[in-house]
Amino acid sequence: MNVRVASAGTGKTTSLVRRLLARVAEGAPLRRMAGVTFTRAAAAELRERVGAGLAEAVRTGAYLDGLDVYPPDAGPRFAEAERELDGAVLTTIHGFMAVGLRSAAPLLGLDPAFGTLPEWEAQAIFEEELHGLAYAAADASAAERGAQASADQDPALDPALRAALARLGDEAVPLALAAFAQRSLADRFEAADGDEEAAALATVAHAAYRRFQARTGGARLAPPEIERRALAQVGVPAAVARLAARTPFVLVDEFQDVNPLQGRYFRSLEAAGIEVEVVGDPKQSIYGFRHADVEVFRRAAREGAVLPPLAHSRRHAQLVVRFLNALTDRLASDGHGFVPDEAPQVAAAGDQAQVRGRVEVHWVRDAARMDALRAREATVLAERLSSAHERGRPWDQMAVLARSHHALQRVRNALTAAGIPTVLGQGRGYYERTEVRDLVQALRVGVEPDRRDALAAWARGPFGQLTPAQLDRIVRADDAVAALREAHPDRAQALDRIREAVRSGPLEAIRTLVRAPLLPGGERFVARLSRGQRENVDALLFEVAERPPGDLELLLQRMDLLSRQAREAGDVPAEGSGVALVTVHASKGLEWPLVAVFDLGARGGAGKAPRVLIQDGRLHLPSGPGHAAAAASHAERQRQESFRLLYVAASRARDELILTASVDERARAGPWAAAVARIGVGPDAAPLDRDGVTLLRHGVDGVADAAPAAPDPADPGLPTAPWTSRRFRPDALPPVESPSRIRVADGGRFSEDDAPDDVPDDVPDETRGDAPGDGEPWRAVGGDADGAGTTRPGRRLPGQAVAVGTLLHDAVRRDADPDDERQIDLLRAQEVMFPYERPQQDAMLDEVRAMLRTYHSLLGGPLPALHDRTRDLREWPVLLPDGRRTWQGVVDRLYRVGDAWYLDDYKTDRTLRPGRYAFQLAVYRKAVAEALRVRPQVRLVNLRGGEVRAVDHATLESAWRARTGPDREGTGRDGPGRASVSP
């Protein structure tokens, strides 16, 4: 097994895509590979990224803009893989196991179309079987039936089981349920040596599990049963051979989060001849409560081949990387959470390598009680976030992380008092909320009123409000709907109204259910809801409106799927602009430009070990000889995971990291605070506030220790290179200027040709930001025709027009289809869109779509069709020296049709004024003439108005002479005859 360590931000998903593409290039079909990750969201992202990578490889023969270059003969393989993408196995661990089980279902006694069983339902079924088993075993007549039946036919007749139940007494059911909940830790219930009570529990749990399996059969499997069945499949030679033939190469992400059964499964696949490669980060193994075991990753590393780690972070700024390196080095050296081999040093890379960033550590230290210290700590944090906002950081680019919701509530109170908006990041189990499920049941009965289970759920809920006795008579009738109509005509009328509403579409159906008087007595559903419940229902309406499904059945399937993913009920996933408040566990996989970690001084704790422990595949109970050691091991695993939580929290920050801690002078600091202090930024270190690093102490009275004003002596470092003090002589090189920035000075005003339109949309040459003028900002959002600059409400800032132009030029360069949403999404992802909210982005993209349609309508008419062009150059850069300066620009489109050459320059002006662009086009034409020895026909193409206007030779020559003659100087950004030069 090949194993690779990938620290936070180092591009695990990118590395997976690169490996899959490399295998395709080598000749392995995508249909014979599997990409496996931990969550459905991560699997969906992997599929999307693989699809984009295949498209790039087909188009360019490379990936990541040439980082990976493939052999010329790999093109057909990538094209084939692109066609196979929809059927490729890019899924979760359980999804991959299910694929393997379905491939050999008859050999394993499974229905090939088996479904999944929610874990809560599996536990409910197991509990029912436990109670039934205990009742049957206690029945005095069981012994009499023993003469006619055997224990094999009825486990309740087994004397060993009856003895085990008697030994455990009333504790049998809760203990067996606790063991069942941990079944992902072992493939069978087996007691530790010498633990008689655990042996009794194993007997009871095994018997109930047999009844559970008989009841669920091979048609519905809960996730742990999928794991157990998949592990059993590897032991069937014919079944594992079929899987190996189907998928000889498996690539697994997030391997630090697998549980022991999953780890055994992948090791067994390797032993069966399937090549397995895993990627993960032991430093981010924080899901022990879900039975994840970091030792599975470590065993794979010990037994397999360790590949070079991913060590370049494209997430973190320089100072954040430096802090994380110091933290992981110290934690690894102290044996806290991980070891040195799992904590390679990381370097900032990509765009983040140019970002210095900020790191702040704030200690609240006093002799006051911890409640007072933490209250002051929350106030300090609010002050620091306000300071960041004053520097220009938007609230929604900030997040506060803490270990508990209780700590987040303390932060929320302080931020609210400071006037800072917040968004509490809960939302787990939203689709299991009672008010949401009530609406789902009403929708379902509207779609399928003859389904008795749907009708019963609806009639028992707020829409029907029938008593159990009334409901029993309805569901037992031959025609339940007719029985409802006879006994409760008002409920039947409401049902008819719902059936009518569902025919209007999902959104209208939900609106009707929420607002129409459909409850008994004419009450509306919304009237029964609390404020929080109304927010949940509103969120459902927004969700359906934003992503409308094709029909109600698709909506119901989506909501059932989301409901199955939930673990516990929570509030609506809050939307809006504000500082995100998130627990560290919930922050895994997320990132923000600024992250604050609150309450590092908390002591934490491993908590009390549960009575039932499964460790090393065996059951341990407190009465057994091995329980003390197992409990101590459990506590140590939790303690180690706590340090990994600190790394996960700190590594969510992109540019700015703020750490706050409260330390009682009379008590020992918590483990997180102690770990941070160990890297030299503890409460006893000298205060510091400069160069993006802040270390301050605060008292409860609000007074902070001041940082020294004088800077520290400069670090001599390496000797200065001799060339660092050299400077270019003035005029040693000719200035470089953009022809689109030239204007004619005329009493301080623009000439008539250069005057801007009264609408800022008319910023010329949008892709290069070439607004008319000398580079100074616009004086007003809008302007009158006389240039007075009167502000008009509703006008857009020039920056938005520039962004629209940038997007349009890129789309035209690619001949993008305005009706292809994937290509439009590529435009939305461009950096120029980042400053704008979603509604603004939608409006800008609508504008781009309209002009793209105009462009396509011109092709084959005023513009030659693409297939008629024998040579087609797009975004062609030009440099043209004229002896005193160098003109630099980009030709939008240069192409040849027959013997004729055309130079097209795209514009988006509302009123096209060719004189404004004559010199710019003259420069482009002369550059083309000198480079290619041709004289192209020059044309302005106005994509807003659908106009193609030729610019004649005389106009271009006149503009050239007027700007470059001996008596005229071009005006650049830095004064006459000068432009900003990058030597």
**Pairwise pLDDT comparison (347 vs 836), residue with the higher score:** 347
How many residues appear in the chain?
983
Angle ∠(291,297,300) on CA atoms, nearest 5: 135
pLDDT tens figures, 723-767: 766 665 555 566 777 787 664 333 333 333 333 333 333 333 333
State residue 845's pLDDT score: 93
Give the C-alpha separation, 43 to 126, whole Å.
31
Please say if the pLDDT value at position 574 is more than 50. Answer: no
State residue 606's pLDDT score: 60
pLDDT tens figures, 512-544: 888 889 898 888 888 888 766 776 677 666 666
Q: What is the mean predicted confidence (pLDDT) over 412-439?
A: 76
pLDDT tens figures, 165-205: 888 888 899 999 999 999 999 989 999 888 899 999 999 99
pLDDT tens figures, 478-525: 888 899 999 999 988 999 988 888 887 777 888 888 888 989 888 888
| Lowest-pLDDT range of 87-101, 348-362, 686-700 | 686-700
Residues 6+ apart with CB under 8 A from 757: 909, 910, 911
Please say if the pLDDT value at position 981 is more than 70. Answer: no
Are 805 and 852 within 8 A, CB to CB? no
State residue 741's pLDDT score: 64
* Pick from 280, 381, 325: nearest CA to 599: 381
- Treating both helix axes as pointing N-terminal to C-terminal, what angle do 405-417 and 370-390 enclose, rounded to 10 degrees? 60
Are 596 and 401 within 8 A, CB to CB? yes
State residue 570's pLDDT score: 39
Tokens of 803: 């962004």
Q: What is the mean predicted confidence (pLDDT) over 937-957?
A: 92
Q: What is the mean predicted confidence (pLDDT) over 54-70?
A: 90
Are 445 and 509 within 8 A, CB to CB? no
Please say if the pLDDT value at position 586 is more than 90. Answer: no
State residue 856's pLDDT score: 94
**Pairwise pLDDT comparison (677 vs 368), residue with the higher score:** 677
| Lowest-pLDDT range of 2-6, 236-240, 423-427, 759-763 | 759-763
Confidence of residue 555 (pLDDT cuts 50, 70, 90): low
Tokens of 288: 């022990």
Return the percentage of the chain with pLDDT > 90, whole number. Answer: 41
Total Cβ atoms within 10 A of residue 742? 24
Q: What is the mean predicted confidence (pLDDT) over 573-579?
A: 62
State residue 791's pLDDT score: 31
Confidence of residue 667 (pLDDT cuts 50, 70, 90): low
State residue 566's pLDDT score: 39
First to last CA, the chain: 51
State residue 229's pLDDT score: 92
The residue written with tokens 């440099």 in the block is 879
Strands 62-63 and 68-69, sheet pairing: antiparallel
State residue 662's pLDDT score: 92
